[in-house]
Amino acid sequence: MAAVRGLLETLGRTFSYLASRVEMIRFRHWVVTVVLLATPSFATICSSGGDCQQGAIAGPYTAAQVAEFTSISNQVFPICQSSTCTQGSWSTDQTEGIDAQQNIGTKYQFYDVNYFNIDANIAVGPTVSGKNAQVLEWVNGQFLQAFDKVTGQPIFTFQGGTTAVPRQVSGLWSGSTQAECQNSAGNVQIVYDRLDNEFVISRRVSYGMGGVPRYAWCIAVSSGSDLSDASTQWYAYEYKLDTVIPCLPHSNNCTTGSNYYYFPDWPRIGTWSNGFYVTFDLQDPTAGYSEEGFEACQLDRADIAQGKASNPMTCYTYTVPLGQRPSLIHSVDVADIDSANGPPSGEAEYFLSIVNPSNAQQGWLGRGMCGSKTTPCISKQLALFTWGANGFAGPAFIAVNPYTPGCYNTSRAGDEVNTFCVPEPSTNPNDIGGYGMRTCGDYGTPCVDSLGDRMANRLTYNHLSSSGGPNGEFLTASHVVMESTSNQRTGIRYYILNVANGKASVLVNSGGASGPPDLQDPNGTLFYFMPSAALDQNGNLGIAFTTSGAVCSTCQPPNNPAVNFDVLPWMASSFDQPTPIVQGAGDQENTDRWGEYAATVIDSSDNLTFYGMGEYYNTSQTGTTFCSLPASNCHTWQTRLFRGKYGAPF
């Protein structure tokens, strides 16, 4: 994540449980001349032990397009034509992705920018007769590379280059009319839009004006699926977010202080029949980046896909009163079409979040976070939102098997959001604590964020029809949960939801007394985290994930972070044997962030082939200085791309 999820200020964590007044978000006073403010819709559903925060939806708010810019793909991303780029094949259905010390584009040909968290993720184009096809990969804060689906070779280079080199994405936006989009950015997502047969790059960027941070949304789409085709163009758009992001409570209507706006963290994007939909958190940078809620926006997919002038982006906010923050609901995933059939005409778009445990379990009003150090805090809910003909609505709470979010930290008040507890072999074993105790994330020892307080990337939508298999509309989702109180070991909770007409019901929910188990280490040693789930056309659920564990002198292979993949067959009660993709030999020691946007996607060519990617280390990443030197260990991360079908060996 781009923002610090550190300690929340004590004042911001003092809950006013008896407060009934909702402090409404203030927007700049001149915005009312541009948008009409709807009467906020308050969540009234409240169950014992669940989320009873007085969340409110407000909007719609709009942000007009700043400019549109069209560029030629192979001018921005020149294509390597040498034999090193055009010959080869995937090795056992794997190919090396972008690596920190290999072909990044500086004079040393390696990565030397100040992003220790790379947010790597992928999108997969279709195999079409007479055209080339690619897997597109992103790493923070500017780099893209496309890998040929036949040879496995990277194809982007610089002008006249004979070896493949990842390219900076900023060239897709105009330096004169879209200057803000020239900035580097984290939390970037790429997807393949099945409806328009195009790649989509979604970026939230920061820029300064008058010494105050401001934000813009930058989106670019390709005119076709073949990124090596000389006729392929990119259509790039910018939307400044001043009119849609709320003013901070103490900014005097966005006029005073060093920060005016909430920070839009953890952005997501999904393709839907009537638009691109994006979500992002609303974090208060003046209060330890506490979670106020989130925002959902719709972009004009129909015009963007054709490079035409677009309608303004339209947004709604969901926030909780200041005395009740942090919001139990945040980091909301948005459904992305992942099947040959899209949603029925008029179907509402879906948004899904976990619900962090509330203090109702401790005899309070359920308007704050549970902080029990003894009895593990649990949640029994997911939160579903929809965007239909009448705008944004929710949450509707879905009852699920109880879970404790991964690395949920109750050792000190206000630390619940600091979900850092995944050890590596380099972690000091004395700093690995049980539930309710301080653990490695509280000490100066290598420790990785489980991101247990949120849904993992992605929320996939599948509209399937088969004989003897799945029939209907489905959402798939996953997140990290605690499996053991003794050392807070983590596993993966996953869901398949039936959806129709804006409603959802649970079809598959792991971790209960019946049904399939969570995906976790059967030996009770390794921590499972960083999942990404997708469903093939036969209903088989594939999950890419990372494993890591504490030092173990007798363990073979060692417990260094490793990339894995496993499949739960349609309506089965257990997973197949997991497939090890790549076993790392080193640790990530100079940051607690990991590859937060790991991705599993289905190839639209056959709707059967899973593509995935993950991050690993063969040399531990330890340095923080002299990062421009090629011998530095500031950046040693590597990524691996892989693919396979259920029932066939990877």
Instruction: Give the CA angle between residues 594, 511, 541 to the nearest 5°.
Output: 65
pLDDT-based confidence at residue 206 (cuts at 50, 70, 90):
very high
Confidence of residue 42 (pLDDT cuts 50, 70, 90): very low
What is the average pLDDT across 21-48? 39
30 has pLDDT over 90: no
Distance CA 53, CA 76 (A): 48
Q: What is the mean pLDDT of the chain?
A: 90
Q: Which amino acid is at 419?
A: T
pLDDT in the model for residue 152:
95
Q: Cβ(146)–Cβ(227) under 8 Å?
A: yes
- E strands present in 513-584: 527-535, 541-548, 562-568, 579-583
215 and 241 Cβ atoms separated by less than 8 Å: yes
Question: Is the pLDDT reported for residue 444 higher than 50?
Answer: yes
DSSP E strand boundaries for 485-629 = 490-500, 503-509, 527-535, 541-548, 562-568, 579-583, 600-602, 609-617
pLDDT given for residue 187 in this prediction = 86
Q: Which range (12-26, 331-345, 392-406, 428-442) has the least confidence?
A: 12-26
Q: What percent of the chain has pLDDT over 90?
A: 80
pLDDT tens by residue, 240-258? 999 999 999 999 999 999 9
pLDDT digits (tens, 9 = 90+) for 276-315: 999 999 999 999 999 999 999 999 999 999 999 999 999 9
pTM: 0.93
Of 107-121, 343-357, 382-396, 430-444, which range is least confident? 107-121
Residue-level pLDDT at 314: 98
d(CA 611, CA 644): 7
- Say yes or no to pLDDT of 603 above 90: yes
Q: What is the pLDDT of residue 649?
A: 75
CA 426 to CA 314: how far, in whole Å? Answer: 47
Sheet containing 562-568: give its strands across.
527-535, 541-548, 562-568, 579-583
Nearest to 13 by CA among 384, 231, 320: 320
Which range, of 40-49, 191-200, 564-573, averages the lowest pLDDT?
A: 40-49
- Position 379 scores a pLDDT of 97
pLDDT at 160: 87
Cα(47)–Cα(229) distance, integer angstroms? 55
What is the band of 108 on the pLDDT scale with cuts at 50, 70, 90?
A: low
Given pLDDT bands bounded at 50, 70 and 90, which one contains residue 1?
A: very low
First to last CA, the chain: 31
User: Which of helix, strand or coil describes residue 633?
Assistant: coil
How confident is the model at residue 628, as a pLDDT?
78
**What is the C-alpha separation between 552 and 313, in angstroms, rounded?**
52
Q: How far is CA 40 from CA 62, 244, 383, 596, in A?
A: 16, 15, 18, 33
**Is 496 within 8 Å of 372 (Cβ atoms)?**
no
The secondary structure of residue 588, as a DSSP letter, is B
Which one, of 510, 500, 514, 515, lies nearest residue 533 by Cα? 510
Percent of the residues in the chain that have a pLDDT greater than 70, as a whole number: 91
List the alpha helices (DSSP H) in 264-389: 301-304
- Rounded CA separation 584/544 (Å): 15
- pLDDT at position 261 is 98
Rounded Cα–Cα distance for residues 126 and 611 (Å): 12
* Mean pLDDT lowest among 151-160, 497-506, 525-534: 151-160
Contact 535, 541 (CB under 8 A): yes
Any idea which of 27-31, 399-403, 557-561, 562-566 has the lowest mean pLDDT?
A: 27-31
| Cβ neighbours of residue 514 closer than 8 Å, sequence gap 6 or more | none
